[in-house]
């Protein structure tokens, strides 16, 4: 480390120590102060869409299955389960000791109500498609069948039966997702559906909601009625939204937060030198993309989309803009899913950047789009602005003029969800479960809530349907890879980088295990005294 950097480090650490001293003694309770990448849009499991919300919901609600500290699948409310020889009918025996935070017993009917509410088109759940694996789910969600037609029924207070549309090898993995958790019917209906407030919400997870102050904090406290409350050591967790990554680093060094989800890229060398014990780098099953709005010209033309993708220097983005905390990505499905095989790439990926840009200019001329102008939308956080500016500079090399428009995270995610007309928009996707289908389903035409590019291709849909009906693992993998190859030829989503998690975690935090799904349940965490 240079003398200048060393001096800067000493000044920052001295200021941090002084601030801690001025703040007085540490709280006597065991509290994990979690810096969050932004403000949660909703704490209703049927309205949430982001990792920000998922981190909180994982503490408040518990489903049939959950994740351990290393991201592995573990039974939660499912005490026993079986599947019939067809692979279509699952039966679950629920734990008898599970309680809602108001004392009511968690029963099979709570799951049935939650699944029906998720699929009811009146709910408007943007993530409903993740559980189209349930029988008649897509028809119910489209308003073509009543909620009662859904493949979910209670056989008794603690006996739940779920029937699938087709055999699904990753179904148990899906049941750990926040959309598959029960909700408390009486409290939801009493509030008219607007139940996600501290004075209204009834939950069944290891923590309950204490406070939710938008743009300030979410506080959850230990739930004394949780079925395994004796093993939960934390008294509280405080989620503090900090979109400014550099501000988050300063607050971490000042001891105001104990962890944060992303190291600012411009500070990565400083953090490596000064905070080596706090920097947690690990592979992460996530991709960084640009969605192109295929609903309007010129982005409805695959030649234009491929030209824009060809011209980009992913190695520069990952290495220089993101300081090695990302990896270049040409595939839609990022590496890390062993059963899927090596990442794919479009045919042109092996060409030099010079050759690719020559071909990009040819495609734009063929499409009659020389001198194309477009706007890149992104959320103002981390390296996203620098990335957008770099993309605009790279496109200038093929005669494309790009402007950049940054907004706060909530506004940007609303754009991706509600999809007013746009040109190009930054998006990312982190696996809900380790299966290639969980990335490729984003491009299905029926997935309106998550298909940010509004891509429609009947051949792609047919391949995904065929893969969903295939029981042979090898044949299923082949169909999924064929579907991805089609998507890479079409380029409605431009893959840019694969994520590598770069978290700040205080050495005081114990039980925080890096994992590809980047999940860190509070029930397994303790905080050592300062």
**Those residues with Cβ within 8 angstroms of residue 493's Cβ, 6 or more apart along the chain or in another chain:** 289, 290, 291, 292, 332, 427, 442, 443, 452, 453, 455, 487
Mean pLDDT of 329-345: 94
Any idea which fold 283-501 has? Dipeptide-binding Protein; domain 3 (3.10.105)
With cut-offs at 50, 70 and 90, classify the pLDDT of residue 31.
Answer: very high
Bridge partners (DSSP) listed for residue 402 = 374
Is the Cα dihedral 369, 307, 390, 280 positive or negative? Answer: positive
The helix or strand, by DSSP H or E, that contains position 328, with its residue range, turns out to be strand 326-328
> Exposed (0-12), middle (13-18) or buried (19+): which is 37, by Cβ within 10 Å?
buried
Supply the pLDDT for residue 41: 85
- Report pLDDT digits (tens) over 149-181: 999 999 999 999 999 999 998 999 999 999 999
Q: What is the CATH number of domain 3-35+224-282+502-527?
A: 3.40.190.10
**Within 10 Å of residue 59's Cβ, how many Cβ atoms?**
26
Supply the pLDDT for residue 73: 95
Pull the structure tokens for residue 53. Answer: 């919300």
C-alpha span between 186 and 221 (Å, rounded): 22
Mean pLDDT of 397-413: 94
With cut-offs at 50, 70 and 90, classify the pLDDT of residue 13.
Answer: very low
C-alpha span between 87 and 345 (Å, rounded): 33
Chain CA centroid to CA 372, Å: 32
C-alpha span between 129 and 147 (Å, rounded): 15
Mean pLDDT of 451-468: 96
With cut-offs at 50, 70 and 90, classify the pLDDT of residue 1.
Answer: very low
Supply the pLDDT for residue 284: 86
Supply the pLDDT for residue 25: 41
**Within 10 Å of residue 44's Cβ, how many Cβ atoms?**
20
With cut-offs at 50, 70 and 90, classify the pLDDT of residue 427.
Answer: very high
Q: Is pLDDT of 426 > 90? A: yes
Q: Are 183 and 61 in contact (CB under 8 A)?
A: yes
Q: What are the angstrom distances between the C-alpha of 2 and each of 5, 278, 479?
A: 5, 20, 53
User: Across all residues in the chain, what is the average pLDDT?
Assistant: 92
Concatenated DSSP letters of 317-331: IIIIISTTSEEE--S
**Within 10 Å of residue 250's Cβ, how many Cβ atoms?**
18
- Report pLDDT digits (tens) over 365-386: 999 999 999 999 999 977 899 9
Q: Is pLDDT of 16 > 60? A: no
Supply the pLDDT for residue 379: 93
Pull the structure tokens for residue 248. Answer: 């988050």
Residue 213 — φ and ψ, nearest 5°?
A: -110, 105
Q: Are 170 and 435 in contact (CB under 8 A)?
A: yes
With cut-offs at 50, 70 and 90, classify the pLDDT of residue 110.
Answer: very high
Q: Is pLDDT of 81 > 70? A: yes
With cut-offs at 50, 70 and 90, classify the pLDDT of residue 387.
Answer: very high
Instruction: Name the CATH superfamily, with its identifier, for domain 44-206.
Output: Dipeptide-binding Protein; Domain 1 (3.90.76.10)
Q: Is pLDDT of 11 > 50? A: no
Supply the pLDDT for residue 24: 39
The helix or strand, by DSSP H or E, that contains position 35, with its residue range, turns out to be strand 31-36
Hey, where are the domains in the chain?
3-35+224-282+502-527, 44-206, 283-501
Supply the pLDDT for residue 176: 96
Bridge partners (DSSP) listed for residue 326 = 499
Supply the pLDDT for residue 247: 94
């Amino acid at each position: 480390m240079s003398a200048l950097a060393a001096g800067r480090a000493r000044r920052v650490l001295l200021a941090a120590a002084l601030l801690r001293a001025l703040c007085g003694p540490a709280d006597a309770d065991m509290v994990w102060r979690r810096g969050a990448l932004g403000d949660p849009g909703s704490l209703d499991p049927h309205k949430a869409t982001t990792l920000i919300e998922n981190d909180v919901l994982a503490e408040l609600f518990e489903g049939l299955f959950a994740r351990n500290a290393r991201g592995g699948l573990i039974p939660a409310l499912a005490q026993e389960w079986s599947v019939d020889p067809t692979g279509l009918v699952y039966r679950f025996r629920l734990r008898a000791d599970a309680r809602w935070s108001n004392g009511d017993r968690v029963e099979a009917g709570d799951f049935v109500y939650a699944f029906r509410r998720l699929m009811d088109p009146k709910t408007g759940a943007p993530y409903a498609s993740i559980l189209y694996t349930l029988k008649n789910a897509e028809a119910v969600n489209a308003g073509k069948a009543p909620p009662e037609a859904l493949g979910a029924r209670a056989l008794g207070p603690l006996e739940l039966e779920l029937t699938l549309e087709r055999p699904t090898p990753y179904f148990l993995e899906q049941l750990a997702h926040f959309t598959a958790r029960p909700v408390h019917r009486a409290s939801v209906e009493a509030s008219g559906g607007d139940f996600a407030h501290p004075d209204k919400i009834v939950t069944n997870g290891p923590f309950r909601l204490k406070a939710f102050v938008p743009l300030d904090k979410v506080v959850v406290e230990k739930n004394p009625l949780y079925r395994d409350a004796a093993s939960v050591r934390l008294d509280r967790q405080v989620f503090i939204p900090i979109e400014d990554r550099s501000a988050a680093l300063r607050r971490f060094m000042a001891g105001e937060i104990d962890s944060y989800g992303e190291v600012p890229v411009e500070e990565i060398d400083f953090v490596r030198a000064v905070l080596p014990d706090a920097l947690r780098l690990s592979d992460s099953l996530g991709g960084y993309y640009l969605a192109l709005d295929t609903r309007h010209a010129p982005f409805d033309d695959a030649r234009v989309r491929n030209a824009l993708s060809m011209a980009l220097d992913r190695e520069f983005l990952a290495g220089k803009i993101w300081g090695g905390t990302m990896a270049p990505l040409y595939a839609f499905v990022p590496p890390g899913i062993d059963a899927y095989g090596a990442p794919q790439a479009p045919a042109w990926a092996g060409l030099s950047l010079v050759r690719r840009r020559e071909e990009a200019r040819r495609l734009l001329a063929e499409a009659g789009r020389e001198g194309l102008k477009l706007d890149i939308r992104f959320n103002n956080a981390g390296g996203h602005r620098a990335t957008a500016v770099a993309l605009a500079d790279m496109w200038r090399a093929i005669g494309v003029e790009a402007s950049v428009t940054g907004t706060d995270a909530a506004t940007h995610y609303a754009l991706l969800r509600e999809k007013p007309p746009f040109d190009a928009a930054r998006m990312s996707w982190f696996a809900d479960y380790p299966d290639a289908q969980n990335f490729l389903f984003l491009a299905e035409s029926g997935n309106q809530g998550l298909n940010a590019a509004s891509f429609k291709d009947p051949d792609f849909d047919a391949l995904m349907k065929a893969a969903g009906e295939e029981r042979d693992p090898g044949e299923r993998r082949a169909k999924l890879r064929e579907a991805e190859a089609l998507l890479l030829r079409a380029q409605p989503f431009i893959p840019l980088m694969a994520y590598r998690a770069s978290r700040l975690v205080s050495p005081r935090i114990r039980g925080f295990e890096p994992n590809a799904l980047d999940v860190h349940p509070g029930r397994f965490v303790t905080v050592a005294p300062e």
